[in-house]
Structure 1
Amino acid sequence: MNIPPLMQKPRSRQSGVAAVEFGLIATLLFLLSLGIIEFGRFMYVWNTTQEITRHAAREAAVRNFDADSIDAIQRGAIFSADTTGDVAVPGGPEIASTNVVIRYLNADGVPATPMPDNPEDNIAACLDVDRAASCIRYVEASVCMDDGDCTPVPYQPLIGLFPFLAIDIPRSTVIMPAESLGYRI
């Protein structure tokens, strides 16, 4: 069946406009959605960093301070207690167990030097006035680069569209009074 030319719709110069408009709007919508996801991940990493320092400080206050215990505290703080080696936070590869820095401080708030050999030796150092610099009174846990200066860990955006989000994760530090440090009666 042929439609007479006068009854046909005239061809419009508007064909394909909807597809172009959708492409422009969809690009902005996807950018906005990805930006919201990336910002949410940044907030997750920041909040997780706070929890990591609280957990590490609490564990360090009650556990032994030998190298194996410190390594276990670092891994446990980032929710990977039953693993070995350097592990990272789930969903936050920027924060690894090596970024959890634990320091044992004396009464003046400076690192205890020389460090006691074991928890019993720490008690003896705390009772001896001449060894007060060796007495561990506080435990400090930080999440930072273990470079001596404890510089903040840089955030690494997962989506390459947002390089301006490559900022430092705010440094997190928790200081708690030392408790048993693993001493057993």
Structure 2
Amino acid sequence: MRTWKNRQKGVTQVEFTLIALAVLLVIFSIIEFALYFYSIQMANEVTRRAARLATVCYIADRDDIATLSSVEGIYPPGFSSDDLSISYLDENGDKVDVRAFVPVTAGPEVLNPIFATIRFVKAEADYTFQFMMLSLLINAVGASPEFQTILPAESLGVLRPEDGLGSIEDC
């Protein structure tokens, strides 16, 4: 019996180490996946807020929307303002070229026809989640869905008279 006891010395330490390693791996995996799902939801919320702001802000201010505190304050880890893009769509869903709005050098005769074709605003986010702990073990990168929000264009920052579309000069 005594030789059997001597051979068993340290077995509990090895067993504890193996079990503790497995439990810690499960706990950190749960935390990582919770952060992943949180980040995915925040990237989706960023596009929703940016699209909402773009529907009511002037077109020339579209590049500033990504840096507003109400949008920038909810960026998930690894997200930057370069990952967010805002575009304006016509009634068919095709992009409208709004480069004439920044800087505003064009007159109303150029801007009004462009403004009249805009029916929707689209905000898109290009985001890929990078796992921290799992990437050390298996170089894991979280696949992200396509984040985009499309909303109908509202005022686009221009007050419109009751009788029609209005003009850029009415701002």
Q: Does 1:143 align with 2:125?
A: yes
Contact 1:65 1:181 survives alignment (8 Å)? yes
- Residues 129 and 143, structure 2, Cα contact 8 Å, conserved in 1: yes
Verify: 1:55 aligned to 2:54, yes or no: no
Change (3 A) 1:162 1:55: farther
Question: Which of residues 95, 102, 119 in structure 2 aligns to 1:111?
Answer: 95
CA deviations 1:46-93 (Å, max 9, x no partner) are: 111111111010000000111xx2232112377436xxxxxx925x11
Inter-CA distance 115–105: structure 2 relative to 1 (3 Å threshold): farther
Q: TM-score, normalised by structure 2?
A: 0.75
Residue 176 of structure 1 is matched in structure 2 by 151
Instruction: Give me the identity figure in percent.
Output: 30
Residue 97 of structure 1 and its aligned partner are, at CA, apart by 1.0
Provide the rounded CA distance (Å) in 1 between the counterparts of 2:146 and 2:70.
Answer: 16
Taking a change above 3 Å as real, the CA distance of residues 53 and 39 of structure 1, as seen in their structure-2 partners, is same
- Name stretches of at least 5 consecutive residues in structure 1 with no aligned partner: 1-8, 82-87, 126-130, 145-152
Q: Which residue of 2 aligns with 1:100?
A: 84
Measured after TM superposition, the shift of residue 116 of structure 1 is 5.5
Find out whether 1:37 has 2:19 as its counterpart: no
Which of 122, 128, 136 is matched with 1:154 structurally? 128
Q: Would you say the 8 A contact 1:53–1:142 is kept in 2? A: yes
Preserved contact between residue 50 and residue 71 of structure 2 (Cα < 8 Å): no
Distance 1:77 1:162, change over 3 A: farther
Asked whether the 8 Å contact 1:62–1:179 carries over to 2, the reply is: yes
CA contact (8 A) 2:55 2:121 kept: yes
Greater Cα radius of gyration, structure 1 or 2: 1
Q: CA RMSD, aligned part only?
A: 2.8
Question: What is the TM-score when the length of structure 1 is the normalising length?
Answer: 0.70
CA drift at 1:15: 1.4
Structure 2 contact 130–140 (Cα < 8 Å) conserved: yes
Q: Counterpart amino acid of 2:81? A: S
CA displacement at 1:112 relative to structure 2: 1.2
Distance 1:114 1:80, change over 3 A: closer
Residue 74 of structure 1 is aligned with which of 59, 66, 69?
66
1:5-16 aligned at under 5 Å gives the runs 10=2, 12=5, 13-16=7-10
Give distance in 2, aligned partners of 1:167 and 1:39: 9
